[in-house]
Each structure stands twice: as structure tokens, then as C-alpha cells.
């Protein structure tokens, strides 16, 4: 158990809908990362937050957005969903210092868009 | 553009044998190289990591070998066990602008036969 929690575990929704994925980082970790895992694209970095502020953006679609709250949990919002958004979405957390960079992944949310 | 190339895609090893997975990168800004292990239905779990100032790191049966001049690194699993059967991902982090986002290889599915 990495200490990172994600809810829900599974999500089935229809095209055009909007969903919210939630992540709670390990105790003490200030950085939260979101990754998407699909069969064709592999594991892709989406976005990083550090102590409530966006720090880096990757291949995140404009239909997707995220935020990190004062209690450090994070939410990833996916809107106008398409079939191709079906994937595993992982959250990872790290201390966020320049020295300690290990990232610990949560169990993921499996999103199925029908 | 795939920044981290991983091979082989799949690997079958007999129990007690040595499993070797290779990765290559182009971006010289990468300065942190972790390996992750993923079982079906689970999130990636950090296995071992290395920085470019050392050429080898060993933790138990797992060893990373790093060749900075060739921009290559590899994972060796000694005395491979059926319980090691999983998908292994190499990754690299550019550590730019305070971001430690990970760039992943495509993964290697390891099967250890009893």
C-alpha cells in the first residue's frame, strides 16, 4: 500500500458527460501528479500540483482540468467525455523537494466511457 | 515523440534465471531514473531508482546499471521468481522548473515460469 488513495475505483459513464476523480496524497507529500494509462499511449503525465499551485503540464486535453485543495487532496475533472478517454487514471504523490523526488502511485481509477 | 525507449516488450524467463530489461533516452536533462513494477489491476510501485552520478545501484535481487555516455540504463532481476511476473516500466525525470514529472517507457511484460 503506497499510502495514496483514489476514488472511485471504477467509473462507467456515457459520452458527453463530466466526471471527477479524487486523490489523497501520502501524509506529508505536497506534490500531486496525474497520469493517464492507456494501451496505445502507455503512461502519460497529465499535470502536477505543488502545495495548491499548478507546477507542470503535460499532455492534458483542454477538456480536462485539475486542482489541489488546501488539505492537499486533488481532483481531476474530465468533461465532454469521448470514447477515447477510456483509460486508467493514476494519481501519484511526492514530498516535492528538489532532493527527494520519489513518486508513489495510487491504485488508480478505471474510467470507461460508453 | 517517445523520449524513453524500452525493450523488450515481453520477456519469458525460467525460475532462478536473470531478467534483463533495457531502456535508452535522448534528453540529457534527465537526471533521475526510476523503475516501476505493475501488477494487473494495481498502480505502479516504485522498485528502485538511480541518479546519473553512479553507474550501478543494487537493492536485494534488483540492480540498475547506468551508462551515462551511452544514455542507457537497465534493470537486472537476479534469481527471478514467479512472483516477479509483472509489467516493468522504466522512467526518467527532467527535473526542470521544479517539476519531477516522469516520462515512461512503454513497459515490459515479464513472465517467470516455475
Using one digit for the tens of pLDDT, what is the confidence trace for A24-66?
A: 999 999 999 999 999 888 899 999 999 999 999 998 999 999 9
* Residue B41 per-residue DSSP state: T
Task: Please give the distance of CA B88 from its chain centroid, rounded to a whole number.
Answer: 6
Q: Which of A4, A98, A103 sits opposite B102 (nearest CB)?
A: A103
For residue A94, which residues of chain B lie inside 8 Å, CB to CB?
100
Q: Does B48 touch chain A (CB under 8 A)?
A: no
Helix/strand/coil for A85? helix
Per-residue buried b or exposed e for B80-97, using 16+ beta carbons within 10 Å of the residue's own CB: beeebbbbbbbbbbbbee
Q: What is the pLDDT of residue A96?
A: 75
Nearest chain B CA: its distance from A47 CA (Å): 8
Assess contact for A21 and A6: CB atoms under 8 A.
yes
Q: Is the pLDDT of residue A98 over 70?
A: no
Helix and strand numbers (H, E) in chain A are: 0, 11
Helix/strand/coil for A81? coil
* Residue A72 per-residue DSSP state: S
For residue A103, which residues of chain B lie inside 8 Å, CB to CB?
34, 46, 100, 102
Q: Count how many pairs of residues, chain A against chain B, have C-beta atoms within 8 Å.
A: 61
Parts of chain B with a pLDDT under 70: 1-2, 95-98
Whole-number Å distance between alpha carbons of B45 and A51: 23
Percent of chain A with pLDDT over 70: 96
Q: Does B32 touch chain A (CB under 8 A)?
A: yes
Q: What is the pLDDT of residue A108?
A: 97
Q: What is the pLDDT of residue A100?
A: 63
Assess contact for B62 and B10: CB atoms under 8 A.
no
Residue pLDDT, tens place only, A78-90: 999 999 999 999 9
Residue of B34, B40, B44 best to disrupt the A interface, most CBs of A under 10 A: B44
- Provide the 10 A C-beta neighbour count for residue A13: 16
Residue that has been written with the C-alpha cell 533495457 in this structure: B22
For residue B27, which residues of chain A lie inside 8 Å, CB to CB?
none
What lies within 8 Å, CB to CB, of B31 at 6+ separation is: B51, B52, B93, B94, B95
CB spacing of A45 vs B102 below 8 angstroms: yes
CB spacing of B34 vs A102 below 8 angstroms: yes
Mean pLDDT along residues A77-105: 90
Q: What is the pLDDT of residue B29?
A: 86
Residue pLDDT, tens place only, A65-74: 999 999 999 9
CB spacing of B99 vs A105 below 8 angstroms: no
Assess contact for B89 and B35: CB atoms under 8 A.
yes
Q: What is the pLDDT of residue B98?
A: 64
Amino acid at each position: 500500500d503506497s499510502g495514496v488513495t483514489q476514488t472511485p475505483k471504477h467509473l462507467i459513464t456515457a459520452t458527453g458527460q463530466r466526471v471527477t476523480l479524487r486523490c489523497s496524497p501520502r501524509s506529508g507529500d505536497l506534490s500531486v501528479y496525474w497520469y493517464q494509462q492507456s494501451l496505445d499511449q502507455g503512461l502519460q503525465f497529465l499535470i502536477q500540483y505543488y502545495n495548491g499551485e499548478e507546477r507542470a503540464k503535460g499532455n492534458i486535453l483542454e477538456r480536462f482540468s485539475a486542482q489541489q485543495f488546501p488539505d492537499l487532496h486533488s481532483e481531476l475533472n474530465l468533461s465532454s467525455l469521448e470514447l477515447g478517454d477510456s483509460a486508467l487514471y493514476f494519481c501519484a504523490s511526492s514530498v516535492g523537494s528538489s532532493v527527494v523526488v520519489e513518486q508513489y502511485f495510487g491504485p488508480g481509477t478505471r474510467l470507461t466511457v460508453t | 515523440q517517445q523520449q524513453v525507449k524500452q525493450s523488450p516488450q515481453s520477456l519469458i524467463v525460467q525460475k532462478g534465471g536473470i531478467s534483463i530489461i533495457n531502456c535508452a533516452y535522448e534528453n540529457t536533462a534527465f537526471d533521475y531514473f526510476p523503475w516501476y513494477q505493475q501488477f494487473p489491476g494495481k498502480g505502479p510501485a516504485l522498485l528502485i531508482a538511480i541518479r546519473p552520478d553512479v553507474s550501478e545501484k543494487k537493492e536485494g535481487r534488483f540492480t540498475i546499471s547506468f551508462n551515462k555516455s551511452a544514455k542507457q540504463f537497465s534493470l537486472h532481476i537476479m534469481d527471478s521468481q514467479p512472483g516477479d511476473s509483472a509489467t516493468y516500466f522504466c522512467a526518467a525525470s527532467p527535473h526542470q522548473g521544479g517539476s519531477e514529472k516522469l516520462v515512461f517507457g512503454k513497459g515490459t511484460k515479464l513472465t517467470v515460469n516455475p
